Amino acid sequence: MLRRHLAGLALFGAPAAIRPAQAQAKERLVLTLKDGDVTIELLPDVAPKHVERIKLLVGRGFYDGTPFHRVIEGFMAQGGDPTGTGTGGARDLPDLPAEFTNKYRFIRGICGMARSQNPNSANSQFFIMFAPAPSLDGQYTIWGRVIAGMDAVDKIKRGAPGSGTVTNPDKLIRARIVAA
């Protein structure tokens, strides 16, 4: 009896809830910048709450038109603040608890969540690494990694030396979630 049931599942396909995780479609975040699209592999196995927050905000159109307000040569580009000041966020949503990992390191193309001094204060702001920064490992949540379009990230307008504050910053034109 059990064999017939299992054979039936094989014939018609197992329900999504019991399929192996690898068989389920992965989602990607696509950021449209002035110089092209950036495709980011989401890492829900590493930072499930942060990935869900990114997806929620993308679904709301929250990131569309937001500036890269802090961009430091040889370090990172930060965006996700609709005010462009570095103090804004999704005010209607609570801050997120840290989801630090040892699985990934802050290297070129890694995407992390910005926060205040409080490790549990990430909300909507994120950053994309231009270069390795081992000092961030285990201190900030990693939620994705660029798998295509890093050349477009490299062309984001840089900020002032030291602060990284950008005058007339480049903007994230559109953010969307796509199935891989």
Query: Residue 13 pLDDT > 60, yes or no?
Result: no
16: amino acid identity, one letter:
A
Which of left, alpha, beta for 58 (phi over 0: left; psi -120 to 50: alpha)? alpha
- Mind listing the pLDDT tens digit for each residue in 88-140? 999 999 999 999 999 999 999 999 999 999 999 999 999 999 999 999 999 99
Contact (Cβ atoms closer than 8 angstroms) between residue 90 and residue 179? no
Query: Residue 151 pLDDT > 70, yes or no?
Result: yes
CB neighbours of residue 63 within 10 Å: 23
DSSP for the chain reads: -HHHHHHHHHHH---GGGS-GGGSPPEEEEEEETTEEEEEEE-TTT-HHHHHHHHHHHHHTTTTT-B--EEETTTEEEE--TTSSSS---TTSPPBPP---SSS---TTEEEE---SSTT-B-S-EEEESS--GGGTTTS-EEEEEEE-HHHHHTSPP--TTT-B-SS--B--EEEEEE-
Domains, the chain, with CATH or none: 23-179 (2.40.100.10)
Query: Residue 15 pLDDT > 60, yes or no?
Result: no
Query: Residue 34 pLDDT > 90, yes or no?
Result: yes
Query: Residue 9 pLDDT > 70, yes or no?
Result: no
- Res 180: pLDDT: 84
pLDDT band at 25 (very low <50, low <70, confident <90, very high): low
- Mind listing the pLDDT tens digit for each residue in 49-86? 999 999 999 999 999 999 999 999 999 999 999 999 99
pLDDT band at 162 (very low <50, low <70, confident <90, very high): confident
101: amino acid identity, one letter:
T
Please state which of the ranges 5-14, 20-29, 135-144 shows the lowest mean pLDDT.
5-14
**What integer is the mean pLDDT of 160-173?**
96
- Res 67: pLDDT: 98
pTM: 0.86
Query: Residue 172 pLDDT > 50, yes or no?
Result: yes
- Res 142: pLDDT: 98
